[in-house]
Chain A
Amino acid sequence: MHQSDPDLPPFARSWRQLYFLVIGSLLLEIVLFYGFMQYFS
């Protein structure tokens, strides 16, 4: 991963952590949408 950028993200310790956060939030959304669909159907 490209880590030489001195401009570090404000909400995480590294860019790599932020990338995982974005991917993690997508997975969480998929799980929540699935639960939402199941609950109301």
Chain B
Amino acid sequence: MSGIDWLILAGTLALIISYGVIRSRGNRSMDDYLLADQSLPWYHVCLSVMATQASAVTFLSAPGQAFTDGMRFVQFYFGLPLAMVVLAITFVPIFHRLKVFTAYEYLESRFDARVRVFTALLFLLQRSLSTGLSIYAPSIILSTILGWNIFWTNIIMGGIVLVYTVSGGAKAISYTHLQQMLIVTVAMFIAGWMTVHLLPADVGFVDALQVAGKSGRLNTIDLTFDPDSRYNVWSGLIGGFFLQLSYFGTDQSQVGRYLTGQSVGQSRLGLLANGMLKVPMQFLILLIGVLVFVFYQFNPSPVFFNKVETDQLLKSPYADQYRRLETEHEAIAARRQKAVLTLNKALSTDDTKSVEQTRAVISQTDQEAKAVKNQVVDLIKKNNPVGDTSDVNYVFLRFVLDFLPHGLIGLLIAVIFSASMGSIAAAYNSLASTTIVDIYKRLFCNSYSDGHYLKASRIATVIWGLFCIVVAQFASKLGSMIEAVNILGSLFYGVILGIFLVAFYFKSIGGKATFWAAVLTEGIVIWCWWTELTAFLWLNVIGCVLLIGIAWLLEKVMPSRRLQPVDAVDV
């Protein structure tokens, strides 16, 4: 990075932090600090919800995913608009009407204090550990590629967020989310435009799409119903719906965002706007990855994008083998480049026969390149058994550093920081609000002044921030980051979603049955994971379904004393 990049990076971050702090000065109550006084319009809610969900890895990983696997990942988000509609109909009006600070507060009015505190503790455990991983994931990529010290990158990544989260609370988070989304959108558009600009003079945007399409990278829709296929329309609509419903409906880092809406209508509108914007946004991010793929069809590409791993190979006893594979890869790339140029010419002259012939050559070279890459991955594994054998997260950043102009590099590094800060800030705020509202105030000190709880919320934010940074410092021991985050979520999300579904849709089941079902189910889920009984994604389904089933059975065996039913779903 050059001086201008550092200047743009530092300037952007300073702008975000100071804007957030200035716009949110004068928090006087807990309502103000944790829910922005429920004063924000729908577009704030929408952008805040989007910024919370889109972490740094979204902007690093998604283009890399499109580069290697095409655009089929977009289908993963098809369930999101449906989940937004369900949330707008059920969750939002109930949370607003009860004037809750956290989602778990509602559980006490529906069940009892035990269910509320138990669910809050599950959330705190899961969210604090996964936020540590969210700090570590972009830090390790930046420190690997830019040679930064991981210890300090973690501290800066997790620490600068604390500045405005502690002082400004939910309002600062929402205002900075607005700016972060603006910066991310502008920078990603410029990156996409620059990628097209870097293509050969006779290759335009439509030509690039033709090449991508003929290379199988525009595979946006797969209508086949195949449970083994990770991304198709059906897994996106059905599986994605449940995943997004549990995330947006029961995770306080999201619930806290849409509770800042100034009315039920504004919160609803924010969520519905998110439902309409998220899929096109994800499509465009993936399209940038596809354009990077096309760029590398006309230019030499590295055989493996994580340079640290390949540099280690060059210093190892496997260096000669690696060099041979690199030469093989270069020869394949040269053949493919020739074929792509012929394809481009054939497309412009509508020469169907030549198009089909070159397409076959491209497909063949693609397979050969994959085989060579697999051999490189094997060498990396042999050389360093704990080495990172996936380079998906490095594709886009390596392209940015190698080919984009100075200034834009600084802006795109700022995008990574901004996206990371957006999700981390919301997580800190949700950890603090759950700790103070559902644990501290509920169990220990329920008769102090509002000022006392405001101060306690600030202290809780600092403590959780420091805890998450400490978790990030130990995260390197956990292996694959994405997998670690998903496993952690899968251990708790199913049970939490099950509790909320019982609350909303099974009016006959009371607190006692739900509490013991939750304790029992959480134990079973952890046992299933410990004994490796099933793939971890199924733990979500097991947790949710088991909880509902056990709670229903327990209710039959030991019926709860009926309290005044609170807020059945009015749909």
Which residues of A does B touch, CB under 8 Å?
1-2, 4-5, 7-10, 15, 18-19, 21-23, 25-26, 29-30, 33-34, 36-37, 39-41
Contacts and interface: CB of A to CB of B under 8 A. Distances in A.
Given A37-B220, A37-B221, A9 B269 contact: yes
B265 A8 contact: yes
A39 to B, nearest CB: 8
A34 B93 contact: no
B264 interface: yes
Contacts of A34: 220-221, 223
* Central interface residue in A4, A21, A37, A39, by most chain B CB within 10 Å: A37
Q: Which 3 A-B pairs have the closest CB atoms?
A: A7-B265, A40-B213, A33-B220
A32 B428 CA distance: 39
A41 B268 CA distance: 39
Interface string B219-240: 1110100000000010000000
A25 to B, nearest CB: 5
Contacts of A22: 81, 84-85, 272, 275-276
B216 A41 contact: yes
A19 B220 contact: no
Contacts of A1: 89, 571
Interface in B249-294: 263-266, 268-269, 272, 275-276, 279-280, 283
B277 to A, nearest CB: 10
A32 B269 CA distance: 24
Nearest to A40: B213
A23 B280 contact: no
B196 to A, nearest CB: 15
- Which DSSP category, helix, strand, loop or mixed, fits chain A's interface? helix
Given A2-B571, A5-B264, A37 B280 contact: no
Given A29-B280, A30-B78, A19 B93 contact: no
16 contacts: A2-B89, A5-B93, A5-B268, A7-B263, A7-B264, A7-B266, A8-B265, A15-B268, A18-B269, A19-B89, A22-B81, A22-B85, A26-B78, A26-B279, A29-B279, A40-B212
Interface string B423-464: 000000000000000000000000000000000000000000
A4 B88 CA distance: 13
A20 B210 CA distance: 34
A30 B209 CA distance: 18
Nearest to A25: B276
A5 B276 CA distance: 22
Given A4-B570, A7-B264, 17 more contacts: A2-B90, A2-B570, A18-B269, A19-B85, A19-B88, A22-B85, A26-B81, A26-B275, A26-B279, A29-B280, A30-B78, A33-B74, A34-B220, A37-B213, A37-B220, A40-B218, A41-B218
A34 to B, nearest CB: 4
A26 B186 CA distance: 24
Interface string B192-218: 000000000000000001101110101
A40 B210 contact: yes
B184 interface: no
B129 interface: no
A7 B219 CA distance: 41
A28 to B, nearest CB: 10
Contacts of A30: 78, 221, 233
Nearest to B269: A9
Contact of A36 (B218, B265, B571): B218
Nearest to A5: B264
Contacts of A2: 89-90, 93, 570-571
Contacts of A4: 570
A7 B263 CA distance: 8
B82 interface: yes
A33 B155 CA distance: 41
Nearest to A18: B272
Contacts of B220: 33-34, 36-37
Contacts of B233: 30
A25 B545 CA distance: 31
A14 B376 CA distance: 58
B406 to A, nearest CB: 33
Nearest to A29: B279
Contacts of A40: 209-210, 212-214, 218
Contacts of B272: 18-19, 22
* Central interface residue in B89, B223, B571, by most chain A CB within 10 Å: B89
A19 B571 CA distance: 13
Nearest to B283: A33
A5 B81 CA distance: 21
A12 to B, nearest CB: 10
A9 to B, nearest CB: 6
Nearest to B94: A2
A37 B218 contact: yes
Contacts of B219: 37, 41
Contact of B213 (A19, A26, A41): A41
Nearest to A26: B81
Contacts of B269: 9-10, 18
Nearest to A9: B269
Contacts of A18: 269, 272
A24 B220 CA distance: 18
B237 to A, nearest CB: 9
Interface string B415-429: 000000000000000
Contacts of B216: 41
Contacts of B263: 7
Nearest to B222: A37
Contacts of B279: 26, 29
